[in-house]
Amino acid sequence: MQSLSDLKLHEKAQVLRVDVSGAADRQKLFACGLIPGAEITIERIAPLGCPLQIRLEGDILLSIRKTEANYVKVNRINR
């Protein structure tokens, strides 16, 4: 299991869990759609590695800081 920040450009993954201690931070990530079972694809990575632009479930584009992406644990999907 790796974090969302470990994925490379155009890799696909499924969210397994969100490992953040603060309830407000967890709620923020859940509200953005980063919930267990969601499928994501890395669309773009900024030149310095932050932020990451991800596609959720094929329809939603989301930019997320690398520090927040470290909290999201994923499993790579081979397609």
Kindly report the pTM of this predicted structure.
Answer: 0.84
CB burial of 4-16 (b: ≥16 within 10 Å; e: otherwise) equals: bbebeeebebebe
Q: pLDDT tens track of the chain, all 79 residues? A: 899 999 999 999 999 999 888 888 888 888 888 889 999 999 999 988 889 999 998 788 999 999 889 999 999 997 6
Q: How far apart are CA 47 and CA 39, in angstroms?
A: 24
